[in-house]
């Protein structure tokens, strides 16, 4: 018998991969669909429970494959209902995921890498350096595990949640309804540790699983990929998927963005925005959300709001204003409440949709930009530097 640690984790297999596997094992395409339902829609990780699969097929699966969620190292619960988990990601490595309940909506913020190579100056994850990409199973298993932790798998398993608009603003409500908080994952945002598009080869099948009718049954507007601006991979995403898109902008001009988001030195604002509008055209999307972290005295002036409005005016764009969340070793300060309101009002005056994200989970370091995990053997590089090559495997 192959040891569990050496077995291939089926949580990372999308429908195409399972179809190929079933053909290899002598199964049929409908077996692939059944297996997806058992794993993701019902949350089962015991092959013996999957009684509509033949015993011979189950024995083959047990011999060489597993359904293995990550180990929870620590759990954190915020006073506002936000929950955070520290998950093992190999020896001496750990990642974090965060669940944010708002009314019936339950948004899970998941990680795609151990650490991050972007080194954005206002982000705790980037300050940790970069170790490696997560594989598809490690990405998807965060959703699987969160649903188990939340008690979402009932006797009938998960059911499809109704479609909704404006998914990229899921965590942006200024006055969220705290009554009857969600107890299952209804929305997934790739806004945890790492740059999703720098791990494109593993993220794409994860998106396929999340939106598959036999797995999590999430509509494309309920799954959001956030990127700091990897334009070549953004082009691929437009051709290969049609999920919602959020872009970490954080500055209205190249000079400032070069300092805050170093990838801008390789893909400046004009190039990034042109690809954003192309993405919308190719995917028939409604709009793109631009994330803008407000830092006191750095990027929060009314004149900068006017520059930002000029960049986005006439395009289907929304701005998510995020008050900076402090973390150890960083000297930036959160913008004053008055400055945040003034910045928002300037955008509104120029007909740009803008909301201020309510800070959630900051008492457990689960707010935007605070995720740190545990990154060992890290490589301190920047995606915008000549020394870095995007790793696809």
Catalytic residue annotation? 96, 368
Q: How many helices (H) and strands (E) does the chain have?
A: 11, 14
The token pair at 327 is 């973390």
Residue 22's alpha-carbon distances to 10, 34, 53, 246, in angstroms, are 12, 11, 11, 36
What length does the chain have? 393
Q: How many CB atoms lie within 10 A of CB 169?
A: 18
Q: Tell me phi and psi for residue 320, to 5 degrees.
A: -105, 105
Q: Under a CB-based contact definition with an 8 Å cutoff, are residues 291 and 251 in contact?
A: no
Residue 332 near residue 295 (C-beta atoms within 8 A): yes
Question: For residues 367 and 131, what is the distance between their CA atoms, to the nearest angstrom?
Answer: 22
10 Å CB burial of residue 229 (0-12, 13-18, 19+) is buried
Structure tokens at 52: 């509509």
Under DSSP, is residue 133 helix (H, G, I), strand (E, B) or coil? Answer: strand
Name residues whose C-beta falls within 8 Å of residue 238's C-beta, 6 or more positions apart in sequence.
275, 278, 279, 282, 283
- Cβ-proximal residues to 384 (8 Å cutoff; 6+ apart), any chain: 118, 262, 263, 264, 265, 266
The single residue listed with the structure tokens 């008690």 is 151
CA distance 59 to 244: 39
Residues 6+ apart with CB under 8 A from 385: 262
DSSP assignment of 207-247 equals HHHHT-TTTT---GGGEEEEES--HHHHHHHHHH---EEEE
CA 133/CA 367 separation, integer angstroms: 22
Residue 107, both tokens: 């948004």
Q: In 3D, which of 302, 213, 292, 303 has the Cα closest to residue 250?
A: 292
């Amino acid at each position: 018998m192959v040891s569990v640690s050496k077995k291939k984790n089926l949580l990372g297999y999308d429908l195409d991969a399972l179809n190929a596997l079933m053909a290899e094992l002598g199964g049929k395409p409908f077996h692939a669909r059944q297996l997806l339902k058992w794993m993701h829609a019902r949350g089962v990780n015991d092959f013996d429970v999957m009684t509509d699969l033949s015993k011979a097929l189950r024995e083959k699966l047990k011999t060489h494959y597993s359904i293995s969620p990550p180990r929870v190292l620590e759990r954190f619960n915020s006073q506002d209902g936000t929950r955070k988990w520290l998950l093992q990601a190999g020896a001496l490595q750990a990642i974090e995921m965060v669940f944010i309940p708002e009314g019936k909506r339950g948004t899970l913020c998941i990680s795609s890498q151990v650490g991050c190579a972007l080194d954005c100056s206002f982000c705790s994850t980037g300050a940790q350096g970069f170790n490696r990409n997560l594989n598809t199973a490690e990405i998807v298993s965060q959703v699987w595990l969160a649903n188990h932790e939340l008690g979402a798998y009932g006797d009938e398993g998960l059911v499809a949640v109704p479609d909704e608009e404006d998914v990229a603003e899921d965590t942006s409500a200024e006055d969220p309804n705290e009554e009857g908080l969600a107890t299952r994952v209804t929305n997934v945002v790739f806004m945890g540790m790492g740059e999703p598009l720098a791990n494109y080869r593993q993220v794409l099948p994860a998106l396929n699983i999340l939106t598959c009718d036999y797995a999590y049954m999430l509509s494309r507007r309920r799954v959001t990929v956030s990127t700091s601006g990897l334009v070549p991979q953004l082009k691929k995403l437009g051709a290969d998927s049609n999920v919602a898109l959020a872009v970490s902008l954080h500055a209205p001009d190249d000079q400032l963005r070069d300092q805050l988001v170093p990838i801008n030195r390789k893909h400046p604002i004009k190039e990034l925005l042109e690809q954003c509008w192309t993405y919308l055209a190719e995917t028939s999307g409604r709009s793109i959300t631009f994330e803008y972290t407000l830092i006191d005295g750095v990027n929060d002036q009314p004149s900068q709001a006017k520059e930002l409005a000029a960049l986005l005016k006439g395009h289907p764009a929304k701005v998510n204003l995020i008050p900076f969340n402090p973390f150890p070793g960083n000297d930036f300060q959160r913008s004053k409440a008055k400055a945040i309101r003034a910045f928002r009002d300037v955008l509104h005056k120029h007909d740009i949709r803008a909301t201020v994200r309510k800070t959630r989970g900051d008492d457990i370091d689960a707010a935007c930009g605070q995720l740190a995990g545990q990154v060992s053997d890290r490589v301190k590089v920047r995606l915008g530097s000549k020394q870095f090559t995007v790793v696809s495997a």
